[in-house]
């Protein structure tokens, strides 16, 4: 199970940064106008939809000023509650994408013929890192080794 988490993290390194930037963008451009508009529309006894729509349209045009108005006019509790709901929904969608990007098995994305089959340098008990007959990237079969140094190449060679 650990390979799934490690594989998903390896695949999504860039997505974590994009996730954070997009979350900040949503928090400023969409959540602050929504929170400010709902605060202004709800100042009377009941929620006035016409005031909400008018204020929301104006607030979307100036998101940074609206972000400042949220804190200056006292709509912070409304903003943080809206931000919490938005963050939970956004995180659920990100988590679903993260889980779906996990490798299906332990050998997903491992190139055939690479040295990824070994862990922590154990291949260098037999192979060499620097010189010899090339087997894979950074893996050479030493020619000065005692014993059998025959190489069997499995695969095909194409040219046309």
Q: What is the pTM of this model?
A: 0.59
pLDDT at 22: 92
Predicted confidence band of residue 123 (pLDDT cuts 50, 70, 90)? low
User: Residues 47-62: pLDDT tens digits?
Assistant: 888 888 888 888 888 9
What's 82-136 look like in SS3?
A: HHHHHHHHHHHHHHHHHHHCCCCCCCCCCCCCCCCCCCCCHHHHCCECCCCEEEE
Q: Which of 52, 54, 24 is nearest to 38 (CA)?
A: 52
Residue pair 115/123 in contact by the 8 Å Cβ criterion: yes
User: Residues 66-98: pLDDT tens digits?
Assistant: 889 888 988 889 899 999 999 999 999 988 888
| Rounded alpha-carbon distances, angstroms, from residue 60 to 21, 64, 67, 71, 155 | 19, 9, 10, 17, 60
User: Residues 4-50: pLDDT tens digits?
Assistant: 777 777 777 888 888 899 999 999 999 999 998 888 888 877 888 88
- List Cβ<8 Å contacts ≥24 apart for 16-20: 19/94
């Amino acid at each position: 199970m650990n390979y799934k988490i490690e594989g998903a993290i390896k695949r999504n390194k860039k997505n974590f940064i994009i996730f954070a930037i997009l979350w900040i963008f949503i928090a400023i451009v969409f959540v602050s106008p929504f929170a400010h508009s709902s605060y202004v529309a709800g100042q009377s006894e009941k929620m006035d939809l016409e005031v909400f729509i008018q204020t929301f349209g104006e607030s979307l045009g100036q998101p940074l000023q609206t972000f400042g108005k949220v804190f200056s006019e006292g709509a912070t509790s409304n903003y943080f509650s809206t931000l919490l709901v938005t963050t939970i929904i956004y995180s659920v969608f990100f988590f679903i994408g993260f889980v779906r990007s996990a490798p299906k098995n332990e050998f997903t994305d491992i190139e055939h013929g690479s040295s990824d089959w070994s862990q922590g340098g154990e291949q260098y008990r037999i192979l060499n890192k620097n010189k010899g007959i090339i087997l894979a990237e950074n893996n050479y079969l030493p020619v000065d080794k005692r014993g059998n140094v025959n190489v069997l190449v499995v695969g095909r060679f194409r040219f046309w």
